[in-house]
Amino acid sequence: MDLSWDDRRTRQFVTNVGLITSDGPHGPNIMSAEWTHYLSYAPALMAVCIAPSHASHKNIVHNKAFGLNLASVDQTMLASVAGGNTGKEVNKFPVLEALGFAFYPAEHIDVLMVKDAAMNAECKVVKQIELGDHTMFVGEIQAIDADPSIKPLVYHNGKFWRVGEHIEKPNKTTLDTIKQLVQEHTK
């Protein structure tokens, strides 16, 4: 089956907002991507799924590298500008700098990174997988940094959120019950 981009059922997902930086035929660029994922510890792999019509897609296919920056709760404006304009028509970095956001050059790849993001990872593309109407770019991490005091922005139901109330794991009595049931049903 096919689903439309605004199908209410898929709005139950909770995601990060990746700020994906790139360079290439469209010049230095940044886009927002909720389909940003952690895939593997060793080697450390992360992925982003990008529609082929986006300027970032062409840049990443060409230069085989991308910056994966997780938006912070203070970067909603940045996420809206990066996700609401295309690098085919707009030079987004000067717009964002004029709005007070800052960027710095990555060390291992030729892209800009987002200052004060919740996490910054420099990725070299090791796999490009066509999946339906998006392409998954799998990147091997070359460098990664994160400041735990900077909180990641949450995306859910088409809106921005912050991580809310902490919910306790099951208590000891419940854990004992689970353990007993697992023992009873061990194969």
Ligand X SMILES: Cc1cc2nc3c(=O)[nH]c(=O)nc-3n(C[C@H](O)[C@H](O)[C@H](O)COP(=O)(O)O)c2cc1C
Q: Which residues here bind ligand X, judged by CB under 6 A?
A: 17, 29, 31-35, 49-51, 54-56, 79, 83, 85-88, 134, 155
- DSSP labels for 77-130? HHHHHHHHS-TTT--HHHHHHHTT--EEE-SSSSSEEETT-SEEEEEEEEEEEE
What does R_g of the chain's alpha carbons equal in angstroms?
Answer: 19
Q: 72 or 169: whose CB is closer to ligand X? A: 72
Q: 22 or 120: whose CB is closer to ligand X? A: 22
Give residue 101's Cα distance to chain centre: 18
Give the shortest CB-181-to-ligand X separation in angstroms: 39
Q: 53 or 107: whose CB is closer to ligand X? A: 53
Helix (H) or strand (E) holding 149: none
DSSP code at position 43: T
Give the shortest CB-58-to-ligand X separation in angstroms: 8
Give the shortest CB-75-to-ligand X separation in angstroms: 11
- Give, in degrees to the nearest 5, the angle at Cα 75 between 70 and 79: 75
Instruction: Name the closest residue to ligand X (Cβ).
Output: 83
Q: 163 or 181: whose CB is closer to ligand X? A: 163
Give the shortest CB-110-to-ligand X separation in angstroms: 17
Q: 23 or 34: whose CB is closer to ligand X? A: 34
Give the shortest CB-186-to-ligand X separation in angstroms: 41
d(CA 179, CA 173): 10
